[in-house]
Amino acid sequence: MKYIILLSVVLIFSISCGTENNDPEIIEDYNGNEYSTVKIGDQTWMAENLNASNFNNGDPIANIEGLTEWRESRDPAWVYYKNNPANGESTGKLYNSYVVNDPRSICPTGWKVPDEQDFEQLLSSFDDIDSAIDFMTTDTGFNASLGGHRQRYRGFIRDDRMEAWWSMTSDSSLRIPSLILDYYEGNGNNNLEIREMSHNNGLYIRCIKS
């Protein structure tokens, strides 16, 4: 099955977006980082990218800065964008896909890494692509930070223009469905879609309430 679902197609089934954030829940990961939340339709999402460096059982996740080691690793790993800890404060950490599919779980208790169906439901909560992207990029909504990603060969790219989030899957294929936001302020060529990404790219994680 091809895992590319353009938002324009999803919108055929769209409903009005019901968002509630009057009394947002605050959650905490293993490392003590706190996250605000946002309710979108029947779903409750983190309103910030994950910034954890340990699984829920306390096991540490490797911080791999070098690109070759990152590309060749088959173990869970994270990195700051451009290896700069200051970026962790604003955008969270980038992870490889071995983190999201690890049974030790990185999301706080009661939360999970979203699967492809969770992303599909999120997209279907909006009337049109403009309202979806507006909500994704505002600090009162999904709060996408446009923090770029780590491409397994090219390294850190596309900050201020792209944000990408992993999904969890039991499929052992080489590529994983991910939610991708392409944003070019002022030129109208924005896009929001689910498309496949290789295991050893570095993407963000946005947990959803179980």
pLDDT tens digit sequence for 176-185: 999 999 987 6
b/e string for 73-89 if b means 16 or more Cβ within 10 A?
beebbbbbbeeeeebbe
Give percent of the chain with pLDDT exceeding 90.
Answer: 69
Q: What is the mean pLDDT of residues 196-209?
A: 95
Q: What pLDDT, on a 0 to 100 scale, did the predictor assign at position 3?
A: 36
User: Which pair of tokens denotes residue 195?
Assistant: 């498309």
pLDDT tens digit sequence for 23-39: 678 999 999 999 999 99
Q: What pLDDT, on a 0 to 100 scale, did the predictor assign at position 102?
A: 94
Task: Look at 142 and 3; give whichever has higher pLDDT.
Answer: 142
Place of tokens 């293993």: 30
pTM, entire model: 0.87
Calpha distance 168→199 (Å, rounded): 11
Say yes or no to pLDDT of 139 above 50: yes
First-to-last C-alpha distance (Å) of the chain: 26
Beta strands in the chain (DSSP E): 5-6, 19-20, 27-28, 34-35, 37-40, 43-46, 62-63, 77-79, 94-95, 111-112, 147-151, 155-159, 162-166, 175-182, 191-198, 208-209
Task: Kindly give the pairing relationship between strand 94-95 and strand 77-79.
Answer: antiparallel
Q: Of 204, 193, 109, give the one whose Cα is nearest residue 150.
A: 204
Say yes or no to pLDDT of 83 above 90: yes
Task: Look at 68 and 136; give whichever has higher pLDDT.
Answer: 68
Say yes or no to pLDDT of 105 above 70: yes
Calpha distance 60→128 (Å, rounded): 41
- Cα angle, residue 139 at apex, residues 107 and 179 outer, rounded to 5°: 50
Name the average pLDDT for the chain: 86
